[in-house]
């Protein structure tokens, strides 16, 4: 039986949500961003995008481009409430609903047609329900895979839906611009264009082996995706967390390695806390550095063994930073991510030795996480403020970065929207 996957995308979600709160904003360029002047534009309405505003630009640059724009800080409470309503509606139509972010998600409709009718009619009903409950419009893409349904909803836009018939995926994708392919990042586009690939169909002019050789696993996935093959299933609930990411905007921009490493230590702690909260162990660690001149450098490192230990995470993140930080340019933002999570083993300790040490460490972290939860700003000085000034010790805790620094968190954080410093 051919799968039927719906990709649901809320049109202009963040700006539309703010317009619900303040109808006077209708038709005006709305920009959701951090505090001026160094805050980052997180989302912009269609009107603002028409004036050249893009995600990731600084507020001062955005103000220069769009003086008539209205700037607002993100209202996460409002966004989450609306998002919960939308996903509540989707869950009425299928038990398999995956939230990708606050404003988009997948629904596996396979086999549900017998209960709710033809998928196009269901799409219309979902849109009507969402409009009635939240006042927001959605676009829908329907296809036999997540990837194709995502491209379809991107092509549909503005209260439309596209249903791609099974077996026609490759032909549907062929003429679509490569920039619309969800697995292609902005940084990949110039590289692919250099290879003469401007449309998804152009990828198939090469062989899978070439892509696999040049780009590794991603290349292979890209080739198969262009052929319309994507076996990825719709994951619901906690299954969907594939990466935990912590982002930090440095204020001011920094070039001193030790100070940046102190930030990375704090981020590793938060990453470890998140992993332990979900009872997961990270298999690899990734890092992205954004310099003051907007150049971005990123890398990934497989950990020697799955871990949620702060110190191990920091050791790998620090080594990765040493490798990536190759320019004498100030750093504006850093992101550290833990990927390939595995569930924490539940085997209880039968003997002493290293097992006992691990158990002791787990208890210490449990107490620390609890303390951090209760005193989010208060316990760091206990663990060595002097480190910031004196550089990194070979072991032990790092000092806390300046309090002025603004932290941004990402998908696994429950704030999927706050991931966009780098976009």
Partner 1 sequence: MKDLSGFDTKTGDTALVYRRVDMILSSNASGEVMEGDCLLLETGRKPEEGELALIRCGKVEMLCRWEGGAVDDLLGLVIGVRRKI
3-class SS of residue 5: strand
- Residues sharing a CB contact under 8 Å with residue 308, sequence separation 6 or more, in sequence order: 272, 275, 276, 280, 281, 282, 344, 365
Looking at residues 113 to 172 of the shown chain, list those that interact with partner 1 (rule: CB under 8 A). Answer: 118, 120, 123-124, 127-128, 138, 140, 152, 155-157, 159-165, 168, 171-172
CB of 3 to partner 1, least distance (A): 16
Name the minimum Å distance from CB 25 to partner 1: 24
Residue 23 C-beta: closest distance to partner 1, Å: 23
The residue (of 168 and 389) whose beta carbon lies closer to partner 1 is 168
Between 120 and 319, name the residue whose CB sits nearer to partner 1: 120
The answer to whether residues 149 and 141 touch, using CB atoms and an 8 Å cutoff, is yes
Q: Closest approach of Cβ 333 to partner 1, in Å?
A: 32
Q: How far is the CB of 135 from partner 1 (least distance, A)?
A: 15
Nearer to partner 1, 138 or 410 (CB): 138
Q: How far apart are CA 257 and CA 312, in angstroms?
A: 19
Q: Which of 52, 175, 216, 396 binds partner 1 (CB under 8 A)?
A: 175
Residue 166 vs 384, nearer CB to partner 1: 166
Minimal distance in Å, beta carbon 5 to partner 1? Answer: 14
Whole-number minimum distance, CB 157 to partner 1, in Å? 7
Q: Which of residues 190-219 bind partner 1 (CB under 8 A)?
A: 199, 201-202
Phi/psi at 281 (5° precision): -120, 135
- Whose CA is closest to 249, among 419, 73, 398? 419
- Contact status: 29 vs partner 1 (CB under 8 A): no
Report CA torsion sign: 33, 39, 41, 47. positive
- Closest approach, Cβ 119 to partner 1, in A, equals 10
Nearer to partner 1, 163 or 315 (CB): 163
DSSP secondary-structure letter at 103? S
Strand pairing category for 41-44 and 243-254: unpaired
Buried b or exposed e, range 387-419, using 16+ CB within 10 angstroms: bbeeebeeeebbbbbeeeebebbbbbbebbbbb
Ranges within 321-360 binding partner 1 (CB under 8 A): none
Site for partner 1 in 60-79 (CB under 8 A): none
Q: 243-260: b or e for each residue (b if 16 or more CB lie within 10 Å)?
A: bbbbbbbbbebbeeeebb
Contact 110/1 with Cβ under 8 angstroms?
yes
CA distance 17 to 78: 7
How many residues touch partner 1 under the rule CB under 8 A: the total is 30
- The residue among 126 and 222 lying less far from partner 1, judged by its C-beta, is 126
Q: How far apart are CA 258 and CA 296, in angstroms?
A: 20
DSSP 396: S
Q: Which among 46-54, 173-181, 382-390, 395-403 is the span making contact with partner 1, rule CB under 8 A?
A: 173-181
CB of 124 to partner 1, least distance (A): 5
CB of 205 to partner 1, least distance (A): 9
Count Cβ atoms within 10 A of the Cβ of residue 134 and give its class: 0-12 exposed, 13-18 middle, 19 or more buried: buried
Closer to partner 1 by CB, 172 or 314: give it. 172
176 binds partner 1 (CB under 8 A): yes
Is the Cβ of residue 162 or residue 388 nearer to partner 1 in the bound state? 162
Contact between 275 and partner 1 by CB under 8 A: the answer reads no
Nearest distance from residue 226's CB to partner 1, in Å? 12
What does DSSP say about strands 30-33 and 70-72: parallel, antiparallel, or unpaired?
A: parallel
Q: Which is nearer to partner 1, 91 or 121 (CB)?
A: 121
CB burial of 136-152 (b: ≥16 within 10 Å; e: otherwise) equals bbbbbbbbbbbbbbbbb
Among residues 159 and 382, whose Cβ is nearest to partner 1? Answer: 159
Looking at the Cβ atoms of 30 and 140, the one nearer to partner 1 is: 140
Residue numbers of the site for partner 1 (CB under 8 A)?
A: 118, 120, 123-124, 127-128, 138, 140, 152, 155-157, 159-165, 168, 171-172, 174-177, 180, 199, 201-202
């Amino acid at each position: 039986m051919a799968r039927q996957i719906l990709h649901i995308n809320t049109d202009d979600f963040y700006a539309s949500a703010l317009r619900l709160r303040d109808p006077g904003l209708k038709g005006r360029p709305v920009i959701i961003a951090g505090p001026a002047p160094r805050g980052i534009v997180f989302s912009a309405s269609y009107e603002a995008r028409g004036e050249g505003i893009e995600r990731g630009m600084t507020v001062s640059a955005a103000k220069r481009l769009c003086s008539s724009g209205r700037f607002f800080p993100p209202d996460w409470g409002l966004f989450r409430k609306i998002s919960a309503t939308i996903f509540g509606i989707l869950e009425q139509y299928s038990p398999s609903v995956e939230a990708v972010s606050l404003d988009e998600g997948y629904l596996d409709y396979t086999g549900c047609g017998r209960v709710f009718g033809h998928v196009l009619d269901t799409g219309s009903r979902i849109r009507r329900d969402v409009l009635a409950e939240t006042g927001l419009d959605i676009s829908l893409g329907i296809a036999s895979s997540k990837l194709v349904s995502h491209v379809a909803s991107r092509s549909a836009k503005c209260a439309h839906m596209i249903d791609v018939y099974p077996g026609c995926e490759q032909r549907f994708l062929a003429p679509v611009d490569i920039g619309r392919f969800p697995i292609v990042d902005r940084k990949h586009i110039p590289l692919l264009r250099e290879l003469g690939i401007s449309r998804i169909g152009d990828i198939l002019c090469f062989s899978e082996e070439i892509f696999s050789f040049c780009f590794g696993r991603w290349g292979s996935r890209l080739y198969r995706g262009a052929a319309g093959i994507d076996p990825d299933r719709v994951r619901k609930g906690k299954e969907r967390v594939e990466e935990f990411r912590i982002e930090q905007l440095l204020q001011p921009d920094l070039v001193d390695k030790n100070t940046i490493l102190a930030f990375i230590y704090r981020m590793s702690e938060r990453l470890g806390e998140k992993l332990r909260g979900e009872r997961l162990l990270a298999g690899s660690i990734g890092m992205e550095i954004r310099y003051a001149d907007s150049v971005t450098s990123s890398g990934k490192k497989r950990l020697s063994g799955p871990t949620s230990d702060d110190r191990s995470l920091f050791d790998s993140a620090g080594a990765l930073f040493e490798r990536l930080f190759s320019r004498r340019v100030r750093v504006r933002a850093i992101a550290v991510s833990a990927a390939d999570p595995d569930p924490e083993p539940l085997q209880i300790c039968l003997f002493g030795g290293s097992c006992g040490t691990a158990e002791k460490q787990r208890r210490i972290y449990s107490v620390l996480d609890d303390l951090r939860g209760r005193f989010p700003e208060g316990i760091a000085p206990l663990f060595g403020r002097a480190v910031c000034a004196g550089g990194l010790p070979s072991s032990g805790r790092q000092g806390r970065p300046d309090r002025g620094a603004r932290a941004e968190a990402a998908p696994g954080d429950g704030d999927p929207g706050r991931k966009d410093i780098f976009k």
